[in-house]
Chain A
């Protein structure tokens, strides 16, 4: 595997389900990010992790819970989601957290909440 991978690529879940999105980067980077991309809004940054420490939480509802066990892996745990949470969730990584470093993106997980 190379670059940034995300699993699953597609996910359909009910509002009462609990699921997790997984992201893995094979680039030796120290920072990882979760973004939400919906039809109605530009790319929204959700969380930033630098050296496994969360350094930014962009006012995301608590039904989204990130986890970064090491610098190569990032999870987004989902529970009791709403239909408006349906979107493409993109993971990215960069060498360091300062924003002048280019970010490398995964292919995303297309989430549908019924």
Chain B
């Protein structure tokens, strides 16, 4: 069965610290997609990145970077030099037919 595990329930850092959010997944599919979404206090989930199972290149977008490793079934997300505006709940998700299977989320609090 498909499964997404975000073991870190809550993380608290001080501004400018780097922080890594972990995501481990299970799937029997050979082709699949992984996603990260951000949910700020306003409520809507904001799409951050999609990665397919054939592309293991790391991705960097500004202060955000993602490390995809099929060997360990992980798709971790790092925020460099965190800012207060990064405070949110972050969800990792795995594609499954017509649906996305979401992890439980990690609540990140960045303190000034």
Residues of chain A whose beta carbon lies under 8 Å from any beta carbon of chain B: 4, 31, 42-43, 45, 48, 50, 55-56, 58, 88, 90, 92, 97-100, 102-108, 110
Residues A99 and B104 in contact, CB atoms below 8 Å apart = no
Indicate if B28 sits at the interface (CB-CB under 8 A). Answer: no
Closest 9 CB pairs of A and B: A99-B95, A105-B45, A43-B102, A108-B43, A107-B44, A100-B33, A107-B43, A42-B104, A102-B47
Q: Which of A31, A100, A105 meets B95, CB within 8 Å?
A: A100
Known: A43-B91, A103-B47, A105-B44. 20 other contacts (CB 8 A): A4-B44, A42-B103, A42-B104, A43-B105, A56-B99, A90-B44, A90-B45, A92-B45, A98-B97, A99-B33, A99-B95, A99-B97, A99-B99, A99-B100, A100-B33, A100-B50, A102-B35, A102-B47, A106-B44, A107-B44
Query: Please, how many angstroms separate the alpha-carbon atoms of A56 and B105 in the complex?
Result: 24
Query: Please, how many angstroms separate the alpha-carbon atoms of A95 and B5 in the complex?
Result: 27
Q: Which A residues touch B97, using CB under 8 A? A: 98-99
Q: Which B residues touch A104, using CB under 8 A? A: 47
Instruction: Report whether over half of chain A's contact residues are helix, strand or loop; otherwise say mixed.
Output: strand
CB distance from A44 to the nearest CB of B (A): 9
Instruction: Report whether over half of chain B's contact residues are helix, strand or loop; otherwise say mixed.
Output: strand
Residues of chain B whose beta carbon lies under 8 Å from any beta carbon of chain A: 33, 35, 37, 42-47, 50, 52, 91, 95-100, 102-105
CB distance from A51 to the nearest CB of B (A): 12
CB distance from B97 to the nearest CB of A (A): 6
Q: Which of B43, B50, B96, B98 meets A102, CB within 8 Å?
A: B50
What are 6 A-B contacts defined by CB distance under 8 Å? A42-B103, A56-B98, A90-B45, A100-B52, A102-B50, A103-B47
Q: Which of B37, B52, B98 meets A98, CB within 8 Å?
A: B98
